[in-house]
Amino acid sequence: MSKKMFGDIMKQAQKLQQEMGRIQEESKKKTVEASAGGGMVTVTANGALEIVSIKVEREVVNPDDIEMLQDLIIAAVNEALKRARQMVSEDMGKLTGGLQLPGLGGIFGQ
């Protein structure tokens, strides 16, 4: 491989890395929402896979059945994180043309 070809490949890799960083930063600003219990618990997550809000409807708060509330929160959080991972994966897919690049799965929990 010539030095010029190697240099071109390195430039392309650097450009791809910069673009991935830009997409990751943009994803942090995007949010997805998921709910459980027919909307009794709603969770919002961002593209950095962080929970940014949890909304619990007053009717679901029953001091005699805390376990149900905990289960609804867990279900909503897990679904929100799943949707956030999917959103980021779709954004990255636009960059890579759907090509699965080694190492990207670990970044987004896939």
Beta bridge partners of 35: 42
Helix (H, G, I), strand (E, B), or coil: what is residue 51? strand
Mean pLDDT by 10 residues, the chain (110 residues): 82 84 86 96 96 96 95 98 92 72 49
pLDDT of amino acid 25: 86
- Pick among 3.40.50.720, 3.10.129.10, 3.30.1310.10, 3.40.50.12160: CATH of 30-97: 3.30.1310.10
pLDDT of amino acid 79: 98
Residue boundaries of the structural domains of the chain: 30-97
pTM of the model: 0.73
pLDDT of amino acid 6: 83
Torsion from C-alpha of 23, 28, 30, 34, nearest 10 degrees: 130
Pull the structure tokens for residue 31: 């949010």
pLDDT of amino acid 16: 83
The answer for 50, left when phi > 0, alpha when psi is -120 to 50, beta otherwise, is beta
pLDDT of amino acid 98: 57
